Amino acid sequence: MAKQKAAAKQKNMTVGIIGMGYVGLPLARAFCANGVKVLGFDINEERVANLNKGLTPIKSVTSAELREMIAGGLFRATAAMRELSKPDAILICVPTPLTENREPDMTYVEATCRTIAKYLRKDQLVVLESTTYPGTTRELMLPILEQSGLKAGRDFYLAYSPEREDPGNQHFETSTIAKVIGGINRKSLERAVDLYSRAIKTIVPVESCEVAEAAKILENSYRCVNIALVNELKQLFDRMGIDVWSVINAARTKPFGFQAFYPGPGLGGHCIPIDPFYLTWKARQYDMNTRFIELAGEINTQMPYYVINRLLKALSDRKKPLNGAKVLVLGLAYKKDIDDIRESPSVVLIELLKQHGAKVDYNDPYILRTHKQREHDLRMTSKPLSPAMLRTYDVVLIATDHSSYDYDMIVENAKLVLDTRNATANVKRNRHKIVKA
């Protein structure tokens, strides 16, 4: 009888997820796969209409999966925020970008909390999933939500559980990635653990929302610092005539004390280029400068400029100026085999190339046209890739190493290849055309 009651409770439960993007939609799929109804909120009405038609906006959740969720009566999208009173839990998956001064931009979180406060009812659970600085849940969200007249931890429950999505990772998905959860009090933690246990295999409860917030910042700062290290070493080893990728491959044979990180044209994605700066901003409130993290951020931010300098030299060695040169950028996504251009170094590279007077095109099999971003608006479309078109460019710049690219064909037909990802490592012919950057 107890099992039947629990099953009935889960069947009738509804989870509201605000933000139907790279975090919110995979999370919705995980809940629906376990029989939990999801109401997906998004302010983009066109996206909402497409979702309800079964058309996915992201590669990591297919349209077939989305249509199955809808057909099973488990998923519906809406732009009507008045429906926020319906779900038993509200999960917030909205952007947390940086301002022009590299300080946290909490506009989306604040606005979302104010909207929730208008419709918040007793016994609802509210969880922030967006990456942020330690203290956000208790110091920023709680006072706004309590403007509803309800008391956090008593009338409604509040927790933080950082998203850990890794687009393109074939080994893990939302349901198999351990979920760290911290609440503002014990009851909030218990409610959040109960919720996520319905969709996630491994739950990691921690003693506070601040610990959960700090854990996420630590994860991404760790990656940021180590990537900065290999990016700096790449520049040093280039001057020494040493291939940094060969060095890393040799070092990674050590079975302990070393984890391989790889250099690139810059950092991309919504997490690593941004999250560490949230911690540096918070640290200043405690009269401390996080010099290590800030230096790593500076190194990674400068990598696109290093790539352009390498390109300038490579063209100059061939008595060709960058001004007026035809450049084809391969890959717009921030990493291989995904359709995500958030903070992509490819976008910065294209803008820098244009500033130098180059005529720039791009190809990306996952991104057929660009869309307006917060700080960029390229207004470009992907050019079809063929041997004939490759021969029309002065240089092909590999910015993203998509698996679908035929690198032998690319090198065979290109006049010059600037490889920022070691994508041409296995190409045997015409290696004199390849310049590493």
**183 and 243 belong to one structural domain:** no
**245 and 327 belong to one structural domain:** yes
Angle between helices 345-355 and 291-317 (to 10 degrees): 50
The domain of 9 spans: 2-207
Each residue's pLDDT tens digit, 270-323: 666 677 888 888 889 999 989 988 899 889 999 999 999 999 999 999 999 999
Structure tokens at 199: 């969709």
pLDDT at 63 > cutoff 50: yes
Contacting residues for 176 by C-beta, under 8 A, at least 6 apart: 201, 202
- Residue 222: phi, psi to the nearest 5? -60, -45
In this prediction, residue 272 carries a pLDDT of 62
Can you tell me the mean pLDDT for 117-129? 98
pLDDT at 49 > cutoff 80: yes
In this prediction, residue 11 carries a pLDDT of 56
In this prediction, residue 278 carries a pLDDT of 83
| % of the chain at pLDDT higher than 70 | 96
**179 and 288 belong to one structural domain:** no
Q: Which of 32, 113, 209, 271 is catalytic?
A: 271
- Answer with the one of 149, 181, 207 that is the final residue of a domain: 207
Quick check: 100 and 128 in contact, CB under 8 A? Answer: no
Instruction: Check which CATH number belongs to the domain holding 112 and give it.
Output: 3.40.50.720
**293 and 385 belong to one structural domain:** yes
**322 and 251 belong to one structural domain:** yes
**135 and 48 belong to one structural domain:** yes
Each residue's pLDDT tens digit, 396-428: 999 999 999 999 999 999 999 999 999 999 999
**20 and 154 belong to one structural domain:** yes
Structural domain total, the chain: 2
Confidence of residue 97 (pLDDT cuts 50, 70, 90): confident
pTM to 2 decimal places: 0.88
Confidence of residue 8 (pLDDT cuts 50, 70, 90): very low
The answer to whether 271 is a known catalytic residue is yes
Quick check: 407 and 427 in contact, CB under 8 A? Answer: yes
